[in-house]
Copies of this chain bind each other. A is one copy, B any other.
Amino acid sequence: MSSNTTAPYALLAGENPVFLAYVTWACILGIKMLLMSPLTGTFRVKNAAFANPEDLPKQTTELKTDEQVERVRRAHLNDMENILPFLTIGLIYVLTNPNPMIAIILFRVAGTVRIIHTIIYAIYPIRQPARAICFFTCFFITIYMAVMCIIRFWFI
């Protein structure tokens, strides 16, 4: 899999550890991100903070916003801003036939920091710069992968 002449499509193969690591971490992060919705729902019920009249349980009569709900929603939005580009750019990065050791470590680190990011943003908030470090680690990994893709496949 390490030849420079391998066609990009041929890298989408069960024998390519970079592809396998991408799929595993992309799906872990996808599931993690999806779980933000039920987490929001749990806090909405717990704190009786609903956004739509039709969602109100019988004993509740008013819509309201709640800081804990808004915090989870900000974490969810941050996930979309960062995990979704990571999913697409990561897939293209696999097609550049990167050094397997580097690529696999980048996927592992990016996946891990995004999980930690959620814990310390939405569940147990801790003081900065913890969250900023998690954010920028995945941020720069995604930028790095995008730049590598552009260098490898440049055609403007």
Binding site for B on A (CB under 8 A): 7-14, 17, 19-21, 23-28, 30-31, 33-34, 36-37, 51-55, 71, 74, 76, 80-82, 84-85, 87-89, 91-92, 95, 104, 108, 125-128, 131, 135, 139, 142-143, 146-147, 149-150, 152-156
Number of chain copies forming the complex: 3
Interface of A is mostly: helix
Contact A142 B34 (CB under 8 A): yes
Inside 8 A of A154's CB, which chain B residues have their CB?
20, 24
CB distance from A12 to the nearest CB of B (A): 4
Determine whether the beta carbon of B88 is less than 8 Å from that of A88: yes
| CB–CB B153/A31 < 8 A | no
